[in-house]
């Protein structure tokens, strides 16, 4: 069967205004030749520091941004060259959950009306809508009496539950969760992650789960892709990536994941400097300015993403 989503060589270049970098034409290569698939019912984690292109990738799949190059397929059909009308029809299969539910929930609207919105757009009649709102609130661990309250009357975790209820309203197939727990306390994070896992099982949902650190995606992902400066530098199933991640950037991110057993010490790999500007990325391997293992060839040749094992691909000259 076709994967639920297939992303093929997608690029998103944002033009930089003339003069900003003293050149005539330049681009921020936010997403630069990214390919992956998401299978039905699985969670693909997408990890990397801010500015690596993971949110842009999510927005491209949602058709909220236009591709510069490449194709996106949903259930085997290309969705990256559709008209606005056709996009509207496909888009009901996709929903997004955001980092800050407070910013995405209108403060002047009651919860009932917030969840009602997508139901109205998709033609539910009034009686069905009222039942569905109650059902959705219960599904996410809230109650019918919460429907008449306003977003500010809820905690951060509860607001994320409301965001999830709204995302589920019209039975999407894919949920793109962009840092959905990054703004929450650690104890609340695991509650929301567990809720997402339960919902996935109950409703056969597929997730693209975006996060900036590997510890958050560990419990929810089946496979994980690591992004750096607009490219996927390593992708593998979760066990392989966490036990046998090969790319020096993956290793650095892994070294920052806390280990529960204090006897097992892992040396923290500290990377030099900051992420370079995506408007002016380094030559060769774009990670060479920060890589502890960089050699001469790294500055000259772009490493290809090569398969090194079943479902495991890495782009590094040394691997």
From 5-13, 135-143, 151-159, 285-293, span contacting ligand SF4 (CB under 6 A): 285-293
Do 156 and 179 form a contact (C-beta atoms < 8 A)? no
Nearest CA to 32 out of 63, 61, 69 is that of 69
Nearest CA to 210 out of 246, 174, 171 is that of 174
Describe the crossing of helices 156-168 and 126-139 by its angle, rounded to 10 degrees. Answer: 130
From 13-21, 107-115, 192-200, 289-297, span contacting ligand SF4 (CB under 6 A): 289-297
Q: In what order do the strands lie in the sheet with 5-16?
A: 26-38, 5-16, 69-74, 77-78
Q: Applying CB under 5 A, does 56 fall inside the site for Mg ion?
A: no
* Residue 77: strand pairing partners: 74
From 21-29, 47-55, 83-91, 291-299, span contacting Mg ion (CB under 5 A): 47-55
Contact characters 73-112, ligand SF4, x per CB under 6 A: ----------------------------------------
Q: Applying CB under 6 A, does 298 fall inside the site for ligand SF4?
A: yes
Q: Applying CB under 6 A, does 254 fall inside the site for ligand SF4?
A: no
Note the helical H segments in the chain.
54-61, 84-91, 101-104, 111-121, 126-139, 156-168, 186-203, 214-218, 238-244, 248-255, 296-300
Q: Applying CB under 6 A, does 165 fall inside the site for ligand SF4?
A: no
Q: Which of the listed partners (Mg ion, ligand SF4, none) does 225 bind, with a CB threshold of 5 to 8 Å by partner kind? A: none
Q: Which of the listed partners (ligand SF4, Mg ion, none) does 294 bind, with a CB threshold of 5 to 8 Å by partner kind? A: ligand SF4
Of 144 and 302, nearer to ligand SF4 (C-beta) is: 302
> Nearest distance from residue 44's CB to ligand SF4, in Å?
22
Q: Which of the listed partners (ligand SF4, Mg ion, none) does 252 bind, with a CB threshold of 5 to 8 Å by partner kind? A: none
Q: In what order do the strands lie in the sheet with 43-47?
A: 94-97, 174-178, 206-211, 43-47, 223-228, 231-237, 312-314, 306-309
Using the structure block, give the residue that is written with the tokens 């059902």.
135
Contact characters 204-243, ligand SF4, x per CB under 6 A: ----------------------------------------
Which residue in 54, 161, 166, 288 binds ligand SF4 (CB under 6 A)? Answer: 288
| Tokens matching residue 84 | 């606005």
Of 103 and 293, nearer to ligand SF4 (C-beta) is: 293
The DSSP code for 132 is H
Nearest CA to 158 out of 178, 135, 137, 182 is that of 137
Of 72 and 285, nearer to ligand SF4 (C-beta) is: 285
Q: Applying CB under 5 A, does 55 fall inside the site for Mg ion?
A: yes
> Nearest distance from residue 180's CB to ligand SF4, in Å?
29
Neighbours of 82 (CB within 10 A): 16
Residue 39: half-sphere exposure toward Cβ, Cα within 13 Å:
8
Instruction: Give the binding-site size for ligand SF4 (rule: CB under 6 A).
Output: 13
| Tokens matching residue 264 | 């097992």
Q: Applying CB under 6 A, does 248 fall inside the site for ligand SF4?
A: yes
Residue 303: half-sphere exposure toward Cβ, Cα within 13 Å:
27
Which residue in 5, 31, 105, 294 binds ligand SF4 (CB under 6 A)? Answer: 294
> Nearest distance from residue 287's CB to ligand SF4, in Å?
4
Residues forming contacts to Mg ion in the complex (CB under 5 A) are 55
Residues forming contacts to ligand SF4 in the complex (CB under 6 A) are 247-248, 285, 287-288, 291, 293-294, 298, 303, 316-318
């Amino acid at each position: 069967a076709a994967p639920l989503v297939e992303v093929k060589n997608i690029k998103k270049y944002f033009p930089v205004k003339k003069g900003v970098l003293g050149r005539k034409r330049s681009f921020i290569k936010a997403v630069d030749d990214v390919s992956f698939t998401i299978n039905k019912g699985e969670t693909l984690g997408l990890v990397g520091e801010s500015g690596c292109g993971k949110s842009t990738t999510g927005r491209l799949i949602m058709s909220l941004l236009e591709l510069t190059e490449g194709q996106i397929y949903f259930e085997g059909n290309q969705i990256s060259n559709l008209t606005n009308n056709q996009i509207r029809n496909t888009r009901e299969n996709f929903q997004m959950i955001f980092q800050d539910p407070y910013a995405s929930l209108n403060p002047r609207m009651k919860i009932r009306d917030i969840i009602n919105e997508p139901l109205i757009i998709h033609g539910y009649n009034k009686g069905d809508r009222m039942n569905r709102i109650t059902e959705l609130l219960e599904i996410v661990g809230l109650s019918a009496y919460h429907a008449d309250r306003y977003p500010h009357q809820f905690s951060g975790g509860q607001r994320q539950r409301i965001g999830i209820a709204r995302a589920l309203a019209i039975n999407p197939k894919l949920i793109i969760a962009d840092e959905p727990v990054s703004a929450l306390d650690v104890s609340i994070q695991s509650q929301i992650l567990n809720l997402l896992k339960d919902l996935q099982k109950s409703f056969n949902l597929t997730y693209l789960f975006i996060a900036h650190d590997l510890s958050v995606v560990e419990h929810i992902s089946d496979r994980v892709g690591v992004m750096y400066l607009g490219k996927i530098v390593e992708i593998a199933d979760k066990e392989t990536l966490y036990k046998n991640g090969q790319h020096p950037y993956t290793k650095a991110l892994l070294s920052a994941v806390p280990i529960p057993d204090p006897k097992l010490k892992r040396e923290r790999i500290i990377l030099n400097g900051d992420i370079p500007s995506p408007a002016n990325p380094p030559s060769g391997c774009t990670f060479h300015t920060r890589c502890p293992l960089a050699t001469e060839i790294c500055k000259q040749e772009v490493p290809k993403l090569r398969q090194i094992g079943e479902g495991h691909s890495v782009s590094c000259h040394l691997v």
